[in-house]
């Protein structure tokens, strides 16, 4: 067994043991039900290290001191200009951290947000990741030129599963280079539902080596979304310094609690108002 295989096996065993034996109650007691209706508990989550919380509900429901930690997200393909404008206006009114959209909307969002503290976030290679590294790097640079300050890129999943790790690193590195040149944040979406545990660890380590700022579980459009196990595994793989974003299939306040307890520092969800009111939803990005 190679040194890489031994490391991956050790990490996987450690996470499995942790999930099987750890008492989660102490962790879950420290996080809240929602930004709008349990704001004091959410403040404790932020104090514990959460960098951002995604939310798509009514901005008026969120206390103003929490708004700066929220990504206002709209990635559905049928999104209209009016919907995008509404997201931007609400983000500015309630001082959300960012508006996250597909690249076609980058310039419109950046212009709409001009003069505010709200940043533009765009996805790249989304949702399949099956484009060439040069294309993703170009897409990232164009989005950044159009005003994006955060980029969520989808990794080349086929290359990863083929064992072509040099291509995977080049794929991620091209986008992280584009981001770092411009002072933008890069998040790498690994689409965990399509991967074996060893592949999740490998790609997380590659993303860290390529100087990405975050690893992210899912697009929200794949065969499955974020799981507590995957978040914990990715956290073990990248260590405490790098961000981990849980996204896809997060539909209740309980889901949010468990993801944060497992090590997520950001949450991506399309459930919006259902999550912040403690309900459930079946929506997607």
Which tokens go with 174?
A: 């091209």
3-state secondary structure of 232: helix
187 is catalytic: no
User: Catalytic pick from 71, 146, 152, 255?
Assistant: 152
Given a contact cutoff of 8 angstroms between Cβ atoms, the answer to whether 208 and 238 are in contact is yes
User: Catalytic pick from 187, 200, 208, 245?
Assistant: 245
Which tokens go with 41?
A: 């508990």
Cα–Cα distance measured from residue 258 to residue 228, given in angstroms and rounded to the nearest whole number = 6
Which tokens go with 134?
A: 């040069």
C-alpha triplet 253, 52, 80: angle, nearest 5°: 85
Given a contact cutoff of 8 angstroms between Cβ atoms, the answer to whether 137 and 156 are in contact is no
Cα–Cα distance measured from residue 3 to residue 140, given in angstroms and rounded to the nearest whole number = 34
Given a contact cutoff of 8 angstroms between Cβ atoms, the answer to whether 131 and 161 are in contact is no
208 is catalytic: no
What values do phi and psi take at 38, rounded to 5?
A: -135, 55
User: Catalytic pick from 216, 230, 255, 257?
Assistant: 216
Please enumerate in sequence order all residues whose Cβ is within 8 A of that of 171, keeping only pairs 6 or more positions apart, or say none: 133, 136, 155, 156, 159
152 is catalytic: yes
Cα–Cα distance measured from residue 39 to residue 266, given in angstroms and rounded to the nearest whole number = 17
DSSP state of 147: T
Q: Which positions are catalytic? A: 152, 216, 245
């Amino acid at each position: 067994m190679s040194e890489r295989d031994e490391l991956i096996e050790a990490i996987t065993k450690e996470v499995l043991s942790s999930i099987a034996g750890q008492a989660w109650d102490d962790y879950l007691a420290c996080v809240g039900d929602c930004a709008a209706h349990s704001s004091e508990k959410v403040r404790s989550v932020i104090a514990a290290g959460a960098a951002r919380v995604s939310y798509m509900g009514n901005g008026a429901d969120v206390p103003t001191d929490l708004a700066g930690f929220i990504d206002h997200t709209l990635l559905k393909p049928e999104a209209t200009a009016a919907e995008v404008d509404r997201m931007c206006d609400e983000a500015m009114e309630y001082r959300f951290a960012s508006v996250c959209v597909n690249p076609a909307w980058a310039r419109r969002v950046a212009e709409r947000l001009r003069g505010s503290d709200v940043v533009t976030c765009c996805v790249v290679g989304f949702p399949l990741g099956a484009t060439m590294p040069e294309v993703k790097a170009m897409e990232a640079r164009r989005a950044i030129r159009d005003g994006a300050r955060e980029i969520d890129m989808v990794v080349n999943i086929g290359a990863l599963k083929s064992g072509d790790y040099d291509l995977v690193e080049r794929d991620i590195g091209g986008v992280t280079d584009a981001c770092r040149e411009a002072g933008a944040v890069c998040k790498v979406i690994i689409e965990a539902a399509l991967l074996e545990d060893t592949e999740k660890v490998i790609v997380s380590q590659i993303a860290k080596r390529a100087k990405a700022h975050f690893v992210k579980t899912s697009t929200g459009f794949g065969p499955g979304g974020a799981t507590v196990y995957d978040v914990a595994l990715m956290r073990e793989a990248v260590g405490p310094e790098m961000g981990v974003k849980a996204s896809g299939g997060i539909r209740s306040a309980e889901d949010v609690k468990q993801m944060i307890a497992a090590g997520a520092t950001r949450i991506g969800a399309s459930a919006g108002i259902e999550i912040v009111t403690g309900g459930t939803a079946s929506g997607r990005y």
